[in-house]
Amino acid sequence: TSIMFPVGMLGAGFPPETITRGLALGAKAIAVDAGSTDSGPYSLGTATPKPSRDAIARDLRLLLRAVRDAHIPLVITTCGTSGTDAGVNWISDIVDEIAREERARFRVAMIYSELSAATVLSALNEGKINALAPAQPLREDVVNSCSHIVGLMGHGPIASALADGADVVLAGRATDTASVAALALSLGLPPGPTWHGAKTVECGGLCTTTPLSGGVLLRIDTTGFTVEPLDASNKCTPTSVAAHMMYENADPFRLREPDGTLDTSFSTYVALDERIVRVEGSKFEKADQVTIKLEGSSLVGYETLILVGIRDPLILASIDQWMSIIRESVHSRTAELLGPSLADYKVDLRAYGHNAILGPLDPDDSIPKEVGVLFKVRARDQATATAIAKIANMNLLHQNLPGMTYLPSFAFATSPAEIERGAAYEFVLNHTIDVDSEDELFRTIMRVVDHA
């Protein structure tokens, strides 16, 4: 079968002509991911999407037109960025709007993956939840702290929806490979090539030499798969295809899915021409126990930021010492002005342009010409976070170093300098739950959207 994966994430945009070309090349289905944890826990914590509605609608309109005209299915996973129930409903509303404007008819499957705390606690009490390294055994208070919990579905619920005649599948949180795997496995194709092909194309053009030029066409058969870019000027190479097993994966040869593990240890990558790569030898090991990974996000406080630019050469020559002085001063003044009851606040300083990413691991110890220092404070409420940021304001504007004979001045990026970022969330679940079948935790609603 041939499956088009047009873009790494719905809403990121793709050239319309690549969809036309994918259909011309014989695509029998379209799969696309609509979410990710790449941008952190906020989307899951608040059940809000990362892309704008306009961006989603633009991409979705092109895809719905394509599947309507070609009479092929469309599978969208991790709707609304984090796969919450609200995310599925949000994408569903946009589908309704587009179908009405395009006078189209679709049989839509909505698969929900959000789990209640009660469901997770019941499994915990039954000994069905296991921690993934480096997480600790799950505690009840951690479960109860989550604003939203989702389970990552595999191919099972999606395949069931397709078998029930869905034209469009809108799934909650799912593994990045689930959409392609469901389309291929439901046709009886072998799991080895299927899961490896699905992993290869999960981010659209990322497995090509020009990742932002559009998506790819995946052809899966009984002995392997081929990958071809949808942009005629783009290329896949054995290196670009093989490298994707290393993307977001702890093991470059093995990838765990709910019902087993993909093994690419003996896979071969051959260039059929300068654009198309053939892969064979992939295996899939069926697991004795089906597991569903859990994701949960908890509110951990409120944050206020200050961004200041520094170009003073004496300060930059001792920037780590300068930041240490600020930390000590802020902690001392906070205790003096706000009292010791605020011990649960957290201050973070990062010098972008110096070592904000690698910290002490940065091998470059040269003195930068300018640095942007980000001050971030997290506290139990917004007012306290801002109060502590205001305490830091004077230090960030004029803090000198011992021995300096003048008072330096630095450049705040905004006025007022304090930027209230609002609620802050953290991922707190890195665990799996044992299930008897892949469909066990997920709920599917089938409905007809008819504006033809």
Q: What's the pLDDT at 362?
A: 86
Q: What is the pLDDT of residues 270-327, one digit of tens each?
A: 999 999 999 999 999 999 999 999 999 999 999 999 999 999 999 999 999 999 999 9
Longest Cα–Cα distance of the chain, Å, equals 78
Taking 50 as the pLDDT cut, the residues of the chain under it are none
C-alpha dihedral (61, 63, 68, 71), degrees to nearest 10: -170
pLDDT at 343: 66
174-187 burial, b at 16+ Cβ within 10 Å, e below that, comes to bbbbbbbbbbbbbe
pTM of the predicted model as reported, rounded to 2 decimal places:
0.94
Please, are residues 33 and 9 in contact by the beta-carbon 8 Å criterion? yes
High-pLDDT (> 70) share of the chain, %: 99
Identify the CA nearest to 29 among candidates 189, 223, 244, 253: 189
pLDDT computed for residue 126 by the predictor: 97
Q: What is the pLDDT of residue 325?
A: 97
Instruction: Render pLDDT for 324-365 as a digit per residue (tens, 0 to 9).
Output: 999 999 999 999 988 866 668 999 999 999 989 988 888 888
